[in-house]
Amino acid sequence: MAETVLELRGLSKAFGALKATDNVSLTLKKGEIHALIGPNGAGKSTLMRLVSGKLTPDAGEVWLGGAEITGLSVARRARAGLGRSFQVSSLIPDYSALRNVMLALQARQGHSYRFLMPVMRDRALRESARAILERVGLGPRASVEAAVLSHGERRLLEIAVALALAPRCFLLDEPMAGLGSEGTARLVSFLRELKQEAPILLIEHDMDAVFQLADRISVLVYGRIIASGSTAEIRADPQVRAVYLGEETTA
Amino acid sequence: MDNARKEWLLNTAIALALFAVPLWALLADEPFIITTATRIAILAIAAVGLNIALGLGGMVSFGHALYLGIGGYVAGIAAHHAFSGTTVLGLPGTNQMLPIWAIAMILSGTIAGIVGALSIRTSGIFFIMITLAFAQMGFFFTLSWPAYGGEDGLPIFVRNQFPGLNTARPWEFFLLSYGVLLAALAIFAMLRAARFGAALMAIRQNPDRAAAVGISPFGIKLVAFILSGMITGLAGAMMADLTRFVSPAMMAWTMSGELIVIIILGGVGRLFGPVAGAAILVCFEVLFGGLTEHWKLWLGLVLLAVVLFARGGLIGLLAGRAQHG
């Protein structure tokens, strides 16, 4: 049995009477991609915020690499090894692609309370950032400001920033959103490699991509996980077909 | 020519002009112009301080006059006790600028730390109101402090001294202010280029992203706010020595507004924005203040034009957008 990297234990979060997350437990093991799917409004984004630390759960715990991180802030969770990407690209708009990655590297290397040395003269930092951009195929666009990059390039830069954190696990929120079929295909093969480095908790709308990529799938409906298992098991699950896949195919 | 080079040339031109004009005034025996240039330099130092919080960190402090006033009162109180040979809190007064500056910076940095700790988690109008509230507290405190003149203010009979200079001479005091301004600009440029600046500017643009890569916005912003208050506090001590007078007016909310106006006129977050802005403001006052008492109306129109048509202020207008590499 592979070692568990990320574990959610009985997470719950309510907004008034609405149970956005209802007793969710799941694990992410070394070397796997665990996909989280569910119809719109199922609570995927809320769950993502609970894991990343943006929201505090009403009940339940988040464990990362054998340590509880439930009480930690977003920044401390990131330092503990949670590398997330955002559903809507969230970068530093005035910074070039290179500086966006350098910022992540700088944060990973230690604190940012260094006041003297110019960061752009830090050759080691710059070269590592460039190597990461090359890896995701953004090398030629390194000096372009994030605000000017195309949508697809920003999605890749999101991944590059997460990579720069060298995290224990990735938390990818709809990385394929808005990518064309070619871009999706490239990202699918990239993520398949990436999971060897660190396991991926993947929230994704693109069903084809999910079924190609995921080792395990959990289905979230009304804040609860109604089914969890291998791709084949989820495909065959009558409940899942009824509430989710059925909807998708008839839509 | 790329924007970075244009900005560098423009900055050099501004720095040279701010030196050349009073030098000419010295030769032409026009002490008023030297004093005016000194005022520009000192106001610019105060605005360089604010530019760290506002320009780099996006923190719209509407209370930076508080630190200006703290610095001013440190200089005034120290000189007052040195003059009368009395003590304050068991310490003798002093008429030496160096210890005065050190105390002014420590005290304004401490107060900025308290104000920052209470305000930085808020944003927008709440941040503006909290910073304003603290400055108003300082204003009314000094207003009702009879030991140091209350609303009448406190005169500094003889300008405080700096080793090796005769500060009573306008030109030598200008040189000192100009040197401090260059040092403040060097510190600003250094902070901006360092890891600290990279984190601070990232937080201004997207705090969620900064947190997601592991940078806690609170600590970085707090340190920036403290450094910002310290530099503005230093400018306050020098301002008191320039006018040889401190009064609660130094902490008035209009003074806080003036510092923001300087930065907007010159260019928010730009290295020489505060210098350009202070020059515009003071020149406006000197040139049109003699013609009409409504010069602020015209300044208001200029400000409106800048906000509507030249968001980057004078530096942005002449050197284009800032580039972060």
d(CA A40, CA A112): 38
Better pLDDT: B134 or B296: B134
d(CA A193, CA A163): 12
> B190: distance to nearest CA of chain A, Å?
6
H helical segments located in chain B = 3-27, 31-51, 65-84, 97-119, 124-143, 170-193, 195-205, 207-212, 217-243, 253-266, 273-289, 295-309, 313-319
Q: Which of B193, B201, B214 sits opposite A120 (nearest CB)?
A: B193
> B71: distance to nearest CA of chain A, Å?
24
Q: Which two tokens stand for residue B136?
A: 């108003």
Q: Which two tokens stand for residue A237?
A: 């699950």
Q: Is B19 exposed, middle or buried (0-12, 13-18, 19+ CB in 10 A)?
A: middle
> Under an 8 Å CB criterion, which residues of A touch B?
52, 54, 73-76, 78-79, 84, 86, 90-96, 98-99, 102-104, 106-108, 112-120, 143, 161, 164-165
Q: Are residues A146 and A185 in the same domain?
A: no
| C-alpha to C-alpha distances, B81 to A95, A154, B78, B102, nearest whole angstrom | 51, 62, 5, 17
Better pLDDT: B288 or B182: B182
Does the pLDDT value for residue A178 go beyond 90? no
Q: Are residues A5 and A67 in the same domain?
A: yes
> B225: distance to nearest CA of chain A, Å?
14
**Within a domain: A217:** yes
d(CA A21, CA A46): 7
Residues of B in contact with A92 (CB under 8 A): 201-202, 205-206, 209-210
Q: Are residues A66 and A177 in the same domain?
A: yes
**Within a domain: A86:** no
Q: Which two tokens stand for residue A61?
A: 């715990």
Q: Which two tokens stand for residue B195?
A: 């890891």
Contact A79 B214 (CB under 8 A): yes
Q: Are residues A234 and A132 in the same domain?
A: no
Q: Are residues A177 and A108 in the same domain?
A: no
Share of chain B above pLDDT 70, in %: 99
Residues of A in contact with B212 (CB under 8 A): 52, 74-75, 78, 84, 86, 90
Contact A107 B196 (CB under 8 A): no
Last residue in a domain, options A105, A138, A166: A166
> A122: distance to nearest CA of chain B, Å?
10
Structural domain boundaries in chain B:
3-319
- For residues B240 and B156, the answer to whether their CB atoms sit within 8 Å is yes
- For residues B154 and B246, the answer to whether their CB atoms sit within 8 Å is yes
Q: Are residues A2 and A74 in the same domain?
A: yes
B195-221 pLDDT tens trace: 999 999 999 999 999 999 999 999 999
d(CA A187, CA A231): 19
Contact B324 A73 (CB under 8 A): no
Q: Which two tokens stand for residue B206?
A: 């997207």
Residues of A in contact with B325 (CB under 8 A): 96, 98-99, 120, 143
Contact B209 A120 (CB under 8 A): no
Contact B211 A120 (CB under 8 A): no
Q: Please, what's the largest Cα pairwise distance for chain A?
A: 62
Contact B324 A96 (CB under 8 A): yes
B311 touches chain A (CB under 8 A): no
| Sign, CA torsion B25/B187/B219/B236 | negative
For A86, name the nearest residue in chain B, comparing CA atoms only: B209
Task: Give me the torsion for CA of B147, B150, B153, B155, rounded to 10°.
Answer: -10
Q: How would residue B268 be classed by pLDDT, with cut points 50, 70 and 90?
A: very high
Q: Are residues A6 and A127 in the same domain?
A: no
Across residues B140-148, what is the average pLDDT? Answer: 93
Question: What total number of domains does chain A contain?
Answer: 2
Place of tokens 């290295």: B271
Q: Are residues A72 and A32 in the same domain?
A: yes
Better pLDDT: A249 or B10: B10
| C-alpha to C-alpha distances, A222 to A19, A62, A69, A117, nearest whole angstrom | 8, 20, 25, 51
B211 touches chain A (CB under 8 A): yes
In 10 A of CB B291, how many CB atoms?
A: 9
Across residues A70-89, what is the average pLDDT? Answer: 92
Across residues A11-38, what is the average pLDDT? Answer: 94
Does the pLDDT value for residue A249 go beyond 50? no
B155 CB-near residues (< 8 Å, 6+ apart): B76, B149, B244, B245
pLDDT at A177: 85
Q: Are residues A67 and A176 in the same domain?
A: yes
B198 touches chain A (CB under 8 A): yes
d(CA A223, CA A216): 18
What are residue B161's DSSP bridge partners? B96
Does the pLDDT value for residue A250 go beyond 50? no
Angle between helices B31-51 and B170-193 (to 10 degrees): 20
pLDDT at B322: 82
B24 CB-near residues (< 8 Å, 6+ apart): B33
Whether pTM exceeds 0.80: yes
Exposure on the CB side of residue B307, measured as CA atoms within 13 A: 11
B45 CB-near residues (< 8 Å, 6+ apart): B177, B180, B181, B184, B231, B232, B234, B235, B238, B274
Q: How would residue B274 be classed by pLDDT, with cut points 50, 70 and 90?
A: very high
Residues of B in contact with A73 (CB under 8 A): 211, 216
Query: pLDDT averaged over chain A?
Result: 91
Question: Domain residues for A215?
Answer: 1-81+167-251
Across residues B279-288, what is the average pLDDT? Answer: 93
pLDDT at B311: 87
Does the pLDDT value for residue A251 go beyond 60? no
Across residues B74-88, what is the average pLDDT? Answer: 93
Does the pLDDT value for residue A248 go beyond 80? no
Across residues B2-18, what is the average pLDDT? Answer: 94
Q: Are residues A154 and A194 in the same domain?
A: no
Contact B325 A112 (CB under 8 A): no
Residues of B in contact with A93 (CB under 8 A): 205-206
Give the 3-state secondary structure percentages of chain A, helix then strand then coil, rounded to 5.
45, 25, 30
d(CA A65, CA B196): 30
Q: Are residues A171 and A77 in the same domain?
A: yes
Q: Which of residues 154-193 of B touch A (CB under 8 A)?
A: 190-191, 193
Please state the φ and ψ torsions of residue B158, each to the nearest 5 degrees: -125, 130
Contact A78 B211 (CB under 8 A): yes
pLDDT at B69: 98
B90 CB-near residues (< 8 Å, 6+ apart): none
Across residues A112-119, what is the average pLDDT? Answer: 93
Q: From edge to edge, which strands make up the β-sheet containing A4-15?
A: A18-29, A4-15, A59-64, A67-68
Q: Which amino acid belongs to residue A53? A: G
Angle between helices B217-243 and B170-193 (to 10 degrees): 170
Q: Are residues A6 and A76 in the same domain?
A: yes
Residues of B in contact with A54 (CB under 8 A): 208
Contact A113 B212 (CB under 8 A): no
